[in-house]
Amino acid sequence: MTKPIWIKHAAQLATLASEVKGPRSKGKMSELGLIEDGSVWIEDGMIQAVGTTKELEERFADKVYEAEIVDASNHLVTPGLVDPHTHVVYGGSREREFEMRLEGASYMDIMNAGGGIHATTRMTREATEEELIDQTKRRLDSFFSHGVTTIEGKSGYGMNLETELKQLRVMKKLQEQHAIDIVPTFMGAHAIPPDFKGREDDFVNHLIDEMLPVVAEEKLAEFNDVFCEKGVYTPEQSERILEAGKRFGLMPKIHADEIEPYGGAELAAKVGAISAEHLLKASAEGIKAMAESGTIACLLPATALYLREEAAAGRRMVDEGVSVAISTDCNPGSSPTTSMPLVMNLACISMRLTPAEALTAATYNAACAINRQERVGSLEVGKQADMVMWNVKNYQELQYLFGVNHVKSVWKKGVKVV
């Protein structure tokens, strides 16, 4: 038995606790369950009690002497941040493309010329499993140092069975070697592999008949994602892939309406996707359909900034009743960052979410977007003790002092990792 941990005297404890279960929208995104002079009691990696310091002092009076005490005076304490959309396992890097884009090339031009996703696919195919593990571990450490304790991770830099499986197995191995939680997504439909150019439907058939069954059989993924975009997968092809994934028990996600309006948000609602990603160019009908179907909008304002595009209509989506989550999109092309704090700042600055909404989007709603809301995303009894102590006093200050890493300490399942 490890020592209990008692975090006490938090200037502000944002528990994100709520009676309402499931993704939050509208005014519910502003309810942070704040406790002043807050306190959390942790045993065996789980949260045993949450309340004011006075309440927990009374309740655990006879156990205090055996606990490790953390004084959180003057600090904000929140749940560990959740990043619900990453492409964290990849080989190589693409800094030259960054320069090319600044010189005027577009993201899609580079991809269509064999760079972009194709370049990373080549480098990921060439990398050994050990090399990928080693490179990814460094990114996972960086997530921890930015207060992120759970991430989703996608395959998609293989686009052949062998390398897709390699990426997914790397995630599985990293679960044993690293304390962060990784929730795996299969994204074989991330681009059209060059050898299938002009025979896109053949690749869709191959993915459905040859790849999905193996991924499902080996239980390597929980979600199935597709890049539904002009010049990549059409809404019809995307629907076939996502419906096939459902038959194998994989929940649908969609990279939707990132570059052009293409019916992706509408499709997400139609197939009952747990989330739709990007949505920079989502139509008014698509947004309405998502609010009605309860599909979470997973918005990626760092990607928009990095591609120098206008961010998604986050404010409007919240107002229209869509549950919004936010994410880094951590990948070597359109968003090479692990900083969820920066993404929260940008959610406020470029999408006009309020500081409270941005925190909900990066914790509880983010957990919902990867079906982990029973375990993480809020500080409630019976949940994992994934927590962050910040070098600020309240949640407004966290979003206001931007571009700075305010993390002081991070606990993953009750173990201090930063």
Interacting residues with ligand NIG (CB under 6 A): 87, 116-117, 120, 227, 255, 258, 303, 329, 331-334
State which residue, 266 or 329, has the beta carbon closest to Fe ion.
Answer: 329
Residue of minimal Cβ distance to ligand NIG? 333
333 binds, among Fe ion, ligand NIG, none (CB under 5 to 8 A by kind): ligand NIG
120 binds, among Fe ion, ligand NIG, none (CB under 5 to 8 A by kind): ligand NIG
253 binds, among Fe ion, ligand NIG, none (CB under 5 to 8 A by kind): none
Q: Which stretch binds Fe ion (CB under 5 A): 25-33, 125-133, 329-337, 349-357?
A: 329-337
75 binds, among ligand NIG, Fe ion, none (CB under 5 to 8 A by kind): none
Neighbours of 206 (CB within 10 A): 17
Q: Torsions phi, psi of 201, nearest 5?
A: -65, -30
Q: Which of 312, 295, 336, 308 is nearest to 90 (CA)?
A: 336
- Residue 335 CB, nearest approach to ligand NIG (Å): 6
- Residue 255 CB, nearest approach to ligand NIG (Å): 5
Residues 4 to 23 in contact with Fe ion, rule: CB under 5 A: none
Strands (DSSP E) along 114-197, which ranges?
148-154, 181-189
The CA radius of gyration of the chain, in Å to the nearest whole number, is 21
Q: Check: CB of residue 142 under 8 Å from CB of residue 179.
A: no
- Residue 114 CB, nearest approach to ligand NIG (Å): 13
State which residue, 258 or 357, has the beta carbon closest to ligand NIG.
Answer: 258
Q: Which of 341, 321, 318, 337 is nearest to 329 (CA)?
A: 337
Secondary structure element (H or E) that encloses residue 38, with its range: strand 34-43
303 binds, among ligand NIG, Fe ion, none (CB under 5 to 8 A by kind): ligand NIG
State which residue, 51 or 286, has the beta carbon closest to ligand NIG.
Answer: 286
- Residue 158 CB, nearest approach to ligand NIG (Å): 13
For Fe ion (CB under 5 A), the number of binding residues is: 1
Counting contacts by CB under 5 A, is residue 329 touching Fe ion? yes
334 binds, among ligand NIG, Fe ion, none (CB under 5 to 8 A by kind): ligand NIG
State which residue, 70 or 259, has the beta carbon closest to ligand NIG.
Answer: 259
Q: Which residues, in sequence order, are CB contacts of 327 under 8 Å at separation 6+?
A: 83, 84, 85, 86, 152, 277, 298, 299, 300, 340, 343, 366, 369
3-state secondary structure of 33: coil
State which residue, 117 or 326, has the beta carbon closest to ligand NIG.
Answer: 117
Q: Which residues, in sequence order, are CB contacts of 139 under 8 Å at separation 6+?
A: 88, 330, 338
- Residue 107 CB, nearest approach to ligand NIG (Å): 7
- Residue 333 CB, nearest approach to ligand NIG (Å): 2
Distances (CA, A) of 60 to 4, 57, 70: 11, 6, 15
State which residue, 329 or 357, has the beta carbon closest to Fe ion.
Answer: 329
State which residue, 13 or 110, has the beta carbon closest to ligand NIG.
Answer: 110
Residue whose token pair is 């949940």 = 383
Secondary structure element (H or E) that encloses residue 361, with its range: helix 355-361
258 binds, among ligand NIG, Fe ion, none (CB under 5 to 8 A by kind): ligand NIG
Q: Which stretch binds Fe ion (CB under 5 A): 71-79, 121-129, 325-333, 346-354?
A: 325-333
Gap between the Cα atoms of 179 and 167, Å rounded: 18
| Residue-level length of the chain | 418
Q: Which of 167, 85, 169, 83 is nearest to 120 (CA)?
A: 167
- Residue 301 CB, nearest approach to ligand NIG (Å): 12
- Residue 334 CB, nearest approach to ligand NIG (Å): 4
Tokens describing residue 65: 């002497």
Helix axes 264-271, 235-247, angle to 10 degrees: 20
Residues 362 to 381 in contact with Fe ion, rule: CB under 5 A: none
- Residue 333 CB, nearest approach to Fe ion (Å): 9
Residue whose token pair is 């080989």 = 91
- Residue 327 CB, nearest approach to ligand NIG (Å): 9
What is the rounded (10 degree) CA torsion for 376, 333, 146, 417?
70
State which residue, 155 or 384, has the beta carbon closest to ligand NIG.
Answer: 155
Gap between the Cα atoms of 237 and 219, Å rounded: 24
3-state secondary structure of 132: helix
State which residue, 123 or 179, has the beta carbon closest to ligand NIG.
Answer: 123
Catalog residues that contact Fe ion under the rule CB under 5 A: 329
